[in-house]
Amino acid sequence: MHKSKILRFGKTPKGLLTIVLIALIAIAAPHESWRLVLPELVAAVAAAGAIDAIVLRYRHRRWEFPGGAVLTALIAGMVLSAQVDWYVAAVVSAVAVASKYVLRTRAANVFNPAALAIVVLFPVLHAGQSWWGALPEAAPAAQVALLAGGIFIADRVNKLPLVVAFLGIYFSLFTVAAYVRDPAWVAEVYRSPDLQAALYFAFFILTDPPTSPVRYPDQLMFAAIVALVSFAIFEATGAVFYLLAGVLAGNAWESWRRVTLHQRRLRPRPASETRA
């Protein structure tokens, strides 16, 4: 990639998110051990990048940097446990990227790729999820980087209302649940690593531009769906992927909304309205 293209990429939302995620990795990795996380990340990026590069080459007749695949791989690697085998991260990332081209509507992919792959492959791979990239093991001062980077990215893609609405509804539901049932059952969502996982999820997964709404009213509905489904899955099963399953429900609703809106726009208007 030429220097000018690299500079342009670094100014795009994808480029900025890549920079933020690499900064978080640099902070978090020493706490997990580079020996563990580096093979996982390299395998994830290599598998996802190779698939996406080939598909882009076939579609556009030229080689392009697979920036979206790299982001998907980094997110998947930062969510999965640092102790997973390198090939697990590679398989998850490969399936994630492939899903973008298989499960899509006219305009975009339906589901967040990393979330879909981790949830779908969990019964097969039983891969642990520690969300180490959210800095749960870092000092509180270092965790400011998660907030600063997250707010910056959410503002850049115009999704701060979505983040605020989700976190507000999400923690309100668990607060109410703590009063009406055993508080010890829900206490973990306020502790490390679940607390940092919720923040990382809200800033970097929930706000994925292709799979989340643009208009503020739609963002509020999307946030409510994701929070309610995440809460319900946690309460019903305690499944480790409750947040990721929640965003998949929100993605499905958003895709349905977009398709429905597109169909309405294509529908012929009645003759009486046309004459008016």
Each residue's pLDDT tens digit, 30-58:
999 999 999 999 999 999 999 999 999 99
The token pair that represents 49 in the structure block: 């990048």
Question: Torsion angle, CA of 150/108/70/209, rounded to 10 degrees?
Answer: -10
- pLDDT value of position 265: 80
Please answer whether residues 43 and 35 qualify as being in contact, where contact means their C-beta atoms are separated by less than 8 angstroms: no
- pLDDT value of position 7: 64
3-264 belongs to which CATH class? mainly alpha
3-state DSSP helix/strand/coil % of the chain, to nearest 5: 75, 0, 20
Which among 275, 160, 169 has a CA at the least distance from the CA of 227?
169
Q: Specify the amino acid at residue 239.
A: A
**Please, what is the average pLDDT of the chain?**
92
The token pair that represents 118 in the structure block: 């981790």
Q: How confident is the model at residue 276 (pLDDT cuts 50, 70, 90)?
A: very low
- CA atoms 196, 201, 207, 212: torsion sign: negative
Domain spans in the chain, listed from the N-terminal domain onward: 3-264
